[in-house]
Chain A
Amino acid sequence: MIVGKAKPVEEVVDMVQGYQRILVVGCNSCVAVCMAGGEKEVQVLASALRLAFRAKGREVQVEEAMTERQCEVEFVDTVRDKVEKAEVVVSMACGVGPQTMARRFPDKAIYPGINTSFMGQPEELGVWSEQCGGCGDCVLDQTGAVCPIARCSKRMLNGPCGGAQNGKCEVGNDTDCGWQLIYDRLKAIGQLYRLEENIPARDWRTDRDGGTRRIVREDVRA
């Protein structure tokens, strides 16, 4: 899933300073699951905004709404009425949500309520970790289904580097060494031979380096 984290309330207060009618819109997919932009978080932010403005001696109108998936215009249309009544929208979806809203409501100011962090998974309650770098040319077949792009701090394809010790990465923060994980996995599935092969320099055009990415599929195009 796409994992995000709510922005500090003060930052959102600064964004919507000067508006009277504010709409906070959550998203019921990834960010709801990771507890960053679901219904509950929308309620929390809306209340926090009301309180923050009240403390400044201002009464503002803060409405709440939910979309099923804010990355698609069809779902964004379900909150059209509320958007039209508001002066400004705070989207609590991942970074795609505000842009879908902006595309659908071109004359409306749309601001982000969360920071989109990474594609990852919950490790335990309250802990999420990055798993996929979205590089556009998956190498998990060579690395025991552990992603070196996302899970090695240096994106090495021929790791581990000299900073790996006791299974941990040199960047600290208790980060696991991605290449130790790769080593352990390949050992477990009897494929350590893969580590003896030099993986050549990769073509990064499938990553962001080829410019903004877009997929066109003629077979499903209308």
Chain B
Amino acid sequence: MSERSEDKAAEPAQEKVWKSGSRLERLLAKGEFVVCGEMAPPQSADGSVIERKAENFKGFVDAVNLTDNATGIVRMSSIACSALAIEQGLEPIVQMTCRDRNRLALQGDILGAFALGARNVLCLTGDHQSMGNHPQAKNVFELDSIQLVDMVRRMRDEKVFQGGDELKVEPRIFIGAAENPFADPLEFRAPRLGKKVAAGADFIQTQAVYDLERFGKWMDMVRERGLHEKVAIIAGVLPCRSARGLEYQKTSVPGMSVPDELIGRMKAAEKPEDEGVKICVEIISQLREIEGVRGVHIMPVMWERILPAVVEQAGLLPRPEVGDEG
């Protein structure tokens, strides 16, 4: 075999074809341990809130989730906030729930989000509206999260709308989904993750991890099925400010598992805020040791200004650059 033909054969393998080309996709491909953060859009029409909040995220996370009327509370739309976040130099992860939109609206929003520069979408079924500030609302739920993932993948890879029509310019989206290792039944949580992978999920963000024992059991099942090699699992963490806040999560947030030991630590702490950060940092370092965990997703609910400290103390700075080489 001549040198030339060897070169030729090697060439195509070097060209990585990106699904979306997002920073998140590129960093995961490089094997970086990624950091995502969650930003809550304002409960008002004041877009400058995103500009102010961006300071807590820029340089500290690789991508930022903008929630979509999370817990059924109306806020500025995830797509609008994503566009504002892009203006601030952040890479957004658009959150999209099936609660408020049917397949027409979802697809229209996917196209619009892509046109505005968004390259990551997290596909969610959505919290039931009974938990929020419009419990009188009618919900949609005509697709579930798995069907939404499948729809977005087919729009991207097969260039078709869900109804079958051809899509001329496809939305090149890096597709995310959520999974909750703490929801029941435990033995079905890994198979259900498998369904999301089969539908086309590229990355997974999990519910906030406090209960490492249960998370570890779930990851065992995930690895048994080889799912950690097919999808990038990004573990959720939530820095907590007070014992009361942590107790609230344990008792009042569906699908959370909080060990009593952690509540005890928060109660005993002289400075609960410092202890909350410490616990979060400890959890992150333990998550980094688990095979198949490819990053963390920090959800500083009502406490976004603490995010830089968490990232710094977890030893996750500086955040890596994405080169043009991919």
Say whether A183 faces chain B, with CB atoms less than 8 Å apart. yes
Are A154 and B141 within 8 A (Cβ)?
yes
Are B125 and A156 within 8 A (Cβ)?
yes
Residues from chain B with a CB closer than 8 A to the CB of A83 are none
A160-182 Cβ-contact flags toward B at 8 Å (1 or 0): 11111111011110000100100
Residues from chain B with a CB closer than 8 A to the CB of A158 are 144-147, 192, 195
Q: Which candidate, A26-34, A57-65, A99-107, A197-205, is the interface stretch facing chain B?
A: A197-205
Residues from chain B with a CB closer than 8 A to the CB of A35 are none
Docked Cα-Cα span, A180 to B98, in Å, equals 21
Residues from chain B with a CB closer than 8 A to the CB of A129 are none
* Interface residue range, chain A: 20 to 34
Docked Cα-Cα span, A180 to B254, in Å, equals 15
Residues from chain A with a CB closer than 8 A to the CB of B178 are 162
Say whether A120 faces chain B, with CB atoms less than 8 Å apart. no
Residue of B nearest to A153 (CB): B128
Say whether B183 faces chain A, with CB atoms less than 8 Å apart. yes
Are A159 and B144 within 8 A (Cβ)?
yes
Residues from chain B with a CB closer than 8 A to the CB of A157 are 144, 147
Are B131 and A170 within 8 A (Cβ)?
yes
Docked Cα-Cα span, A157 to B142, in Å, equals 9
Are A161 and B125 within 8 A (Cβ)?
yes
Are B183 and A162 within 8 A (Cβ)?
yes
Among candidates B99, B141, B146, B207, residue contacting A198 with C-beta atoms closer than 8 Å: B146
Among candidates A154, A170, A177, A209, residue contacting B144 with C-beta atoms closer than 8 Å: A154
Say whether A52 faces chain B, with CB atoms less than 8 Å apart. no
Say whether A141 faces chain B, with CB atoms less than 8 Å apart. no
Residues from chain B with a CB closer than 8 A to the CB of A171 are 128, 130-131
Name the distance in Å between A104's Cβ and chain B's nearest Cβ: 32
Are A198 and B188 within 8 A (Cβ)?
no
Among candidates A160, A172, A200, A204, residue contacting B183 with C-beta atoms closer than 8 Å: A160
Are A154 and B139 within 8 A (Cβ)?
yes
Binding site for B on A (CB under 8 A): 153-167, 169-172, 177, 180, 183, 195-196, 198-201, 204, 209
Sorted from nearest, which 9 A-B pairs have the closest CB atoms?
A162-B180, A170-B254, A163-B254, A158-B146, A156-B144, A201-B147, A154-B141, A162-B183, A162-B255
